[in-house]
Amino acid sequence: MEKINSGDKVRIHADSGEFEGTVLPSLDKNIFVLKLKSGYNIGLEKKKIKKVELILKHKPQEYKKQKLSFNKELKTISILHTGGTIASQVNYETGGVIARFTPEEIVSMFPEIKDISNIKSRLISNMFSEDMNFNHYNILAKEIQKEIKNGADGIIITHGTDTLALTAAALSFTLEGLNIPVILVGAQRSSDRGSTDAKLNLLSAAHFIAKTDYQGVAICMHETKNDDKCLILPPAKTRKFHSSGRDAFKVINDVPIAEVSNEGHVKFLRQHPKKENKKLKLKLFKPNIKVGILKSHPNMFAKEISNYKNFNALILEGTGLGHFPINKIDKFTSENQKIYNEIKKLAKNMPVIMTSQTIYGRINMNVYSTGRLLQEAGVIGNYLDMLTETAFIKIAWLLSNYPKNKVKELFHENLRGEISKRTEE
């Protein structure tokens, strides 16, 4: 018998009857997966199959390319892809999802985009965002620099949503003197579904680039569950707040930069600096910098802190205004004393930074004695309203680019909008 491959048309004689269809790849070696003419896929147990007849060998379909024209009147946007979902499309023959990244493919999926700008598009790395590390931030920064040199008026980065906000923060630090808009866009609902949020997010980012003179990194995602508006969000002040909803990205201790309506109207929600002549300078990450994040919780042990003794920095995500369990109150709390000693030891050798689990609000380690003791131990971050994730990116970036004695001072300085001096809400 001729070998049967995925995509081949076959007739199967099984205990449950005769089935004609296309062979699909199966995850289970005991199951034969067939796409029937009706469109349904079924799984048949191999041991119940009596005969497989080959009807037609598979011939891969050619993907029809659309020719793109260049419009001198429009800006040029480079789309750099780091993840598959925003540009994925279903192959109805096999049912698989194929990622599409060429400009022609992007335009065929989102035709409106060609009326907004000229499009360049290429794949940087096709990965889940949770797998990214500092190396990838550096690659992205270099690719952005390359695109700017090649004349891009703006850049859209498609990115998995899980760590999108961290990449945005990282790029905002890395791309010093950035003179064009670099907008990160994700999709919470995959673009193989009609209801995807990818389209509005992508088109809104394109509108924002085409219609404004914004310079810097930002995030563009849905504001609500409605497909009617996107927000342009500050890179170091934004956090993903929902595992699946399209309205997942919220600005913390700050206000959004702008909103973009479904029709492409841009409205700035705060003052943004005038366009200026800046020169881009890349300040990259050292990939081997080790920064830990430790969340305070009841019943903590000192070992949890000393685990980080060989790291370069530690973020303590404390409770409330910035607290850790460090007070010996009774016979049950002697471990707390050890915790305090370990924090003190670490803080002698590395930046130990306090952020808050409350997410909203500001650190103040002067209100309670716990905070004062932590400051005495050398914990920094007082009066800051920085997100844990941003603090993590910032300290790693500072340690990568500045001498150790400047790091603590710079950490408390607002470099990219990561610190607000006042809190309105």
Partner 1 sequence: MDYQSLGFKCGLEIHQQLDTNKLFCNCQSFFEENKVDYEIKRKLKASAGELGDVDIAALHETLKNKAFIYQVNRETACLIELDDEPIHELNKEALKVVLQVAMVLNAKIIDELQVMRKVVVDGSNVSGFQRSALVAVNGFLDTSKGRVGIETICIEEESAKKIKEDEKTVTYNLSRLGIPLIEIATDASIKDPEHAKEVAEQLGMILRSTGKVKRGIGTIRQDVNVSIKGHPRVELKGFQDLRSIPKVIEQEIKRQQENIKNKKLHHEVRKVNPDFTSTFLRPMPGSSRMYPETDLVPIKISKNLLSEIKIPELITEKAVNIEKKYNLSPQMSREILKLNIPFDYYAEKYKLNPSIIAEILVEIPKELKARFNINTEKLTKDNFEFIFENLQSKKINREAAKDVLKELAEGKHIDLNNFKQIDNKEIEEKLKEIISKNKGAHFSALMGEAMKIFRGKSDGKTISDLLKKLVKN
Q: Would strands 76-81 and 88-90 be described as parallel, antiparallel, or unpaired?
A: unpaired
Rounded least distance, CB 158 to partner 1, Å: 15
Q: Is 85 a catalytic residue?
A: yes
Contact 22, 60 (CB under 8 A): no
Of 30 and 334, which CB lies nearer to partner 1 in the complex structure?
30
DSSP 157: E
Element (H, E) at 163: none
CA distance 259 to 200: 12
Of the residues 20, 28, 131, 213, which one makes contact with partner 1 according to CB under 8 A:
28
Looking at 26-34, 165-173, 253-261, 326-334, which segment touches partner 1 (CB under 8 A)? 26-34
Applying CB under 8 A, does 190 fall inside the site for partner 1?
A: yes
Cα-Cα-Cα-Cα torsion 195, 196, 199, 205, nearest 10 degrees, comes to 130
In angstroms, give the least distance from the CB of 95 to partner 1.
5
Distance (Å, whole) CA 203 – CA 185: 10
Q: How many CB atoms lie within 10 A of CB 154?
A: 24
Q: CA-CA distance, 240 to 169, in Å (whole number)? A: 13
Tell the smallest beta-carbon distance from residue 246 to partner 1 (Å): 6
Question: Quick one: which of 12, 23, 44, 395 contacts partner 1 (CB under 8 A)?
Answer: 44
Q: How far is CA 128 from CA 21, 98, 167, 186, in A?
A: 33, 15, 13, 12
- Per CB under 8 A, 48 contacts partner 1: yes
Is residue 37 at the binding interface for partner 1, with CB under 8 A as the rule? yes
Alpha helices by DSSP H, 120-175:
134-149, 164-174
* Interface residue with partner 1, options 4, 42, 127, 251 (CB under 8 A): 42
Which CB, 44 or 80, lies closer to partner 1? 44
DSSP-derived secondary structure letter, 354? E
92 touches partner 1 by CB under 8 A: yes
Asked if 188 is part of the footprint of partner 1 (rule: CB under 8 A), the reply reads yes
Check 9, 35, 240, 250 and give the catalytic one. 240
Q: What is the DSSP string of 42-99?
A: EEEEGGGEEEEEEEE---PPPPPPPPP---TTS-EEEEEE--SGGGEEE-TTT--EEE
Looking up tokens 């037609």 gives 56
Site for partner 1 in 246-305 (CB under 8 A): 246-247, 262
- 371 contacts 323 by C-beta, under 8 angstroms: yes
The rounded distance, in Å, linking the Cα atoms of 41 and 37 is 9
Length of the chain counted residue by residue: 425
By CB under 8 A, tell whether 90 contacts partner 1: yes
Nearest distance, CB of residue 201 and partner 1, angstroms: 12
Which region, judged by CB under 8 A, interacts with partner 1, from 42-50, 360-368, 384-392, 405-413?
A: 42-50
Clarify whether 240 is annotated catalytic. Answer: yes
The Cα–Cα gap between 220 and 231 comes to 6
Which of 33, 346, 363, 384 touches partner 1 (CB under 8 A)?
33
Q: Is 225 in the site for partner 1 (CB under 8 A)?
A: yes
Segment interacting with partner 1, rule: CB under 8 A, options 90-98, 232-240, 319-327, 348-356? 90-98
Q: Considering only residues 101 through 160, tell me which ones interact with partner 1, judged by CB under 8 A.
A: 108-109, 111-112
DSSP string covering 254-317: S--SEEEETT--EEESS--PPP-----EE-PPPTT--EEEEE--SS--HHHHHTTTTSSEEEEE
User: 28 an active-site residue?
Assistant: no
Stretch that binds partner 1, among 209-217, 219-227, 253-261, 302-310 (CB under 8 A): 219-227
Residue of 43, 361, 378, 417 that binds partner 1 (CB under 8 A): 43
Per CB under 8 A, residues contacting partner 1 are 15-17, 19, 27-28, 31, 33, 36-45, 48, 89-92, 95, 97, 108-109, 111-112, 188-196, 198-200, 224-228, 244-247, 262
Active site residues per annotation: 85, 161-162, 240
